[in-house]
């Protein structure tokens, strides 16, 4: 860990001081810039003037400026969404051929008889290239030409918690930064009054997946890059509202008094860290207005609310999709939305109806709304869970499927991704990704590539290693899906 010690700031600000001359309080804006994004105290070089990310970033031209990651937590079944397998229907009810499962990790089906479970819905072809999409997702069908379906995803972790950690941080070991933190660290934020990495979770669905704040931790990166959770109930950001209910003028006079007194003290003790603190209070003050303004949907016309199916303040996935668009408009770099109802060990049809009912249309609305505002071109949308589900039957309360990591589906759309195509394939039973496998590391490399970052040249020193989001194993941007 490289703490943000006062020494780091001191070094940083000593350089700045030389640059700015002995301007005393004039340092505020420089400190502010460093606070918002560009943590050059951590980087080898000063950021280029006018930019707030790392020097030399982006490495190449950006196809996407921001990411909206739609996480279907629990692991949606690829076999009931995008990956149709006739053979699965043919073998339904028969023993699962051992050639597929021998020596493979198994979650809840350990020690049980493994039987093939045929598809539990119908599939049709949509769009100019005939994308295969199931009947659970009628609104996805409408955007078949916009999305690129990756049918050959592979991950390494078979239980939810480590699988999320792996998907978000590239490692199952706790304490690594999540991708939203990495991206803000590299590119900086484009917002003056909102955090660059925002996380929202949605209500509704079946018994929800627990999700840890580790999933949006900045790990060994500086704390300022951590994801900030926006809440649907209570304060939208912890402590952003004064529980006392005082007017804005009182917040202002208090913040002013704190700033003045900190400044007076600083003239005596010459501590550059105080400048950063003053900037933090300024941003806190602005967030007290900007966050409620963001969360207030009253300026959205009814037809937009209807398009998403959003009822302001209900905490639904629909409302969160609309908020995601508003965050994207305000320059937030990484927006991570969780819907937590996708762990369908049993009753899969019933729960797919529930979860798709809650998410299908809002997802379409988000993509379509961005598109009609011209923002889809530089926004990357990623949809998927932490893993897929087994071709084998599991029967906890009606037919369902167990966790599955050797082949599953995700999709990407927007900035720099070809729409209307499918990429890769699983085998005839949807077990193993056999054609163009895309590892989670490749997904990360692709996402970074679209953001203008070469994943191999994006590291941070920790425990003596140059840590990367993509780790040490080979990882490659998936060139076959790039527009």
Partner 1 sequence: MIQFLFRNFRARACHAHGRPGAAMALTVTVAAVIGGLAPGRAGAADDGASQTPATIDFNRDIRPILSDNCFFCHGPDRSERKADLRLDTLEGATANSDSGGTAAIVPGNPEASEMIARIFTQDEDDVMPPPDSGKSLTAEQKDLLRTWVKQGAVYATHWAWEPPQPRAVPESRAAAELPSATAIDRFVGRKLDEAGLNFSDRADPVTLVRRLYFDLTGLPPSPSAVDAFAAAPDEQAWMSLVGELLSSPAYGERMATWWLDLVRYADTVGYHGDQDHNIAAYRDYVIDAFNRNMPLDRFSAEQLAGDLMPEPTTAQKIATGYNRLLQTTHEGGLQPKEYLAIYAADRVRNVSSVWLGSTLGCAQCHDHKYDPYTMKDFYSMAAFFADVDEARHFREGTNSLPTKRPPEMDVIPVSRQRRIDTLQDQLKRILNGSPKSTAGTDRRAAEIEAAIEELRSQKVRTMVTESVEPRVMRILPRGNWLDESGPVVTPEVPEFLGSLNKTEAGAGRASRLDLAGWLFAPGKEGGIGELTARVFANRIWYMLTGRGISESLEDFGGQGSPPTHPELLDFLALEFMESGWDIRHLIRTIVQSHTYRQDSVGSGESRQTDPLNRLFSRQSRYRVPAEMIRDTALEVSGLLVHEPAVTSIRPYQPDGYYRHLNFPERTYQHDTDRNQWKRAVYMHWQRMFLHPMLKAFDAPTREECTARRPRSNTPLASLTLLNDPAFIEAARHFAGRTLLNQRLHNDRLKITWMFRQAVSRSPDPETELPVLTQLLADAREYFLAHPGKAEKITDIGLSRSEWHQSPAELAAWTQTARAILNLNETYQRN
Show contacts with partner 1 in window 368-427 (CB under 8 A): 402-403
User: What count of other Cβ atoms lies within 10 Å of the Cβ of residue 339?
Assistant: 29
User: What is the C-alpha to C-alpha distance for residues 85 and 392, in angstroms, rounded to an integer?
Assistant: 13
Q: To the nearest whole angstrom, how small is the minimum distance from the Cβ of residue 8 to partner 1? A: 9
Residue corresponding to tokens 């979770």: 201
**Residues 302-361 interacting with partner 1 (rule: CB under 8 A):** 340
Give the residue with the Cβ less far from partner 1, 176 or 325: 176
For helices 6-20 and 272-295, the axis angle rounded to 10 degrees is 100
Paired strand residues for 228: 198
Q: For the segment 276-295, give every residue that binds partner 1 (CB under 8 A).
A: 276-277, 280-281, 283-284, 287-288
CB of 20 to partner 1, least distance (A): 16
* DSSP 8-state symbol, 88: H
Which residues from 106-145 bind partner 1, rule CB under 8 A? 106-108, 110
Nearer to partner 1, 265 or 373 (CB): 265
As measured in angstroms, the least distance from the Cβ of 401 to partner 1 is 12
Task: Give the nearest distance from C-beta 142 to partner 1 in angstroms.
Answer: 31
Give strand pairing partners of 410.
Answer: 150
Instruction: Give the shortest CB-57-to-partner 1 separation in angstroms.
Output: 14
Question: How far is it, in rounded angstroms, from Cα 31 to Cα 38?
Answer: 10
Residue 66 in contact with partner 1, rule: CB under 8 A: no
391 phi, psi to nearest 5 deg: -65, -10
Say if residue 184 is preceded by a cis peptide, omega within 30 of 0.
no
One residue of 30, 35, 147, 451 binding partner 1 per CB under 8 A: 35
Q: Which residue, 40 or 121, is less far from partner 1 as judged by CB? A: 40
Identified binder of partner 1 from the candidate list 28, 105, 127, 437, rule CB under 8 A: 105
* Comparison of 229 and 369: residue with beta carbon closer to partner 1: 229
Q: Measured between alpha carbons, how far is 89 from 79 in angstroms, rounded to an integer?
A: 11
Q: Judged by CB under 8 A, which of 222, 384, 391, 452 binds partner 1?
A: 222
Query: Segment 178-197, which members bind partner 1 (CB under 8 A)?
Result: 195
Q: Which helix (H) or strand (E) holds 165?
A: helix 160-169
* Residue 61 touches partner 1, criterion: CB under 8 A: no
Q: Does 301 bind partner 1 (CB under 8 A)?
A: no
CB of 279 to partner 1, least distance (A): 8
Tokens of residue 224, six digits: 């300022």
Print the binding letters for residues 229-258 with partner 1: x by CB under 8 A, - otherwise: --x-xxx-xxxxxxxxxxx-xxx-xxx-xx
Residue 93, burial from CB neighbour count under 10 angstroms (0-12, 13-18, 19+) = exposed
Query: Taking the complex as a whole, how short is the minimal distance between the CB of residue 129 and partner 1, in angstroms?
Result: 36
Q: Report the C-alpha gap between 441 and 425 in whole angstroms.
A: 18
The dihedral built from the CA positions of residue 397, 399, 405 and 409, taken in this order, carries a sign that is negative
- Write down the least CB distance from residue 459 to partner 1, Å: 7
> Nearest-CA neighbor of 313 among 298, 325, 328, 302?
298
Pick the binder of partner 1 from 50, 269, 303, 374 (CB under 8 A): 269
Distance CA 343, CA 71 (A): 13
Q: Which stretch binds partner 1 (CB under 8 A): 105-113, 128-136, 357-365, 407-415?
A: 105-113
- Could you tell me if residue 398 is left (phi over 0), alpha (psi between -120 and 50 degrees) or otherwise beta? left
Nearest approach, Cβ of residue 214 and partner 1 (Å): 7
# of chain residues touching partner 1 (CB under 8 A): 95
Pick the closest to residue 185 from 468, 390, 404 (CA basis): 468
How near is the Cβ of 482 to partner 1 at its closest, in Å? 21
Q: Which is nearer to partner 1, 94 or 104 (CB)?
A: 104
**Token pair belonging to 147:** 């999305």
> For residues 454-473, which are near partner 1 according to CB under 8 A?
456-457, 459, 461, 463-466
């Amino acid at each position: 860990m490289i703490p943000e010690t006062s020494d780091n700031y001191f070094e940083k600000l000593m350089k700045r001081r030389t640059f700015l001359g002995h301007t005393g309080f004039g340092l505020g804006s420089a400190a502010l810039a460093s606070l918002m994004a560009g943590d050059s105290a951590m980087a080898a070089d000063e950021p280029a003037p006018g930019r707030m990310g790392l020097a030399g970033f982006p490495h190449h031209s950006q196809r996407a400026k921001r990411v909206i990651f739609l996480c279907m937590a629990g692991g949606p079944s690829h076999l009931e969404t995008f990956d149709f397998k006739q053979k699965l229907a043919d073998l339904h009810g028969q023993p699962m051929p051992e050639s597929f499962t021998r020596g493979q990790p198994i979650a809840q089906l350990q020690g049980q008889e493994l039987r093939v479970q045929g598809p539990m819905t119908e599939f049709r072809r949509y769009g100019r290239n005939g994308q295969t999409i199931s009947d659970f997702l009628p609104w996805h069908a409408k955007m078949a030409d916009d999305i690129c379906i990756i049918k050959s995803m592979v991950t390494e972790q078979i239980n939810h918690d480590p699988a999320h950690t792996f998907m978000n941080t590239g490692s199952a070991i706790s304490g690594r930064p999540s991708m939203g933190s990495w991206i803000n660290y590299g590119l900086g934020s484009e917002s003056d009054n909102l955090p660059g990495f925002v996380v929202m979770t949605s209500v509704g669905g079946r018994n929800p997946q627990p999700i840890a704040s580790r999933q949006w931790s900045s790990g060994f990166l500086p704390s300022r890059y951590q994801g900030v959770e926006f809440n649907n109930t209570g304060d939208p950001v912890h402590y952003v509202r004064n529980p006392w209910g005082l007017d804005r003028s009182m917040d202002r006079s208090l913040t002013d008094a704190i700033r003045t007194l900190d400044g007076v003290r600083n003239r005596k003790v010459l501590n550059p860290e105080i400048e950063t603190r003053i900037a933090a209070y300024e941003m806190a003050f602005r967030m007290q207005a900007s966050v409620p303004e963001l969360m207030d949907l009253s300026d959205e016309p009814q037809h937009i609310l209807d398009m998403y199916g959003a009822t302001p303040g209900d905490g639904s996935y629909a409302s969160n999709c609309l908020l995601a668009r508003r965050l994207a408009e305000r320059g937030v770099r990484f927006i991570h939305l969780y819907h937590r109802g996708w762990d369908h060990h049993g009753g899969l049809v019933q729960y797919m109806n529930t979860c798709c009912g809650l998410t299908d249309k809002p997802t379409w609305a988000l993509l379509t709304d961005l598109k009609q505002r011209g923002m889809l071109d530089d926004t990357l949308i990623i949809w998927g869970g932490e893993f897929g589900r087994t071709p084998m039957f599991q029967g906890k309360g009606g037919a369902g499927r167990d966790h599955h990591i050797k082949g599953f589906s995700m999709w990407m759309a927007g900035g720099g991704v070809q729409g209307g195509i499918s990429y890769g394939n699983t085998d005839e039973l949807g077990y193993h990704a056999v054609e163009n496998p895309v590892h989670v590391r490749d997904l990360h490399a692709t996402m970074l590539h679209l953001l203008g970052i070469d994943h191999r040249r994006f590291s941070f020193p920790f425990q003596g290693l140059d840590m990367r989001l993509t780790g040490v194993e080979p990882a490659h941007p998936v060139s076959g899906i790039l527009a």
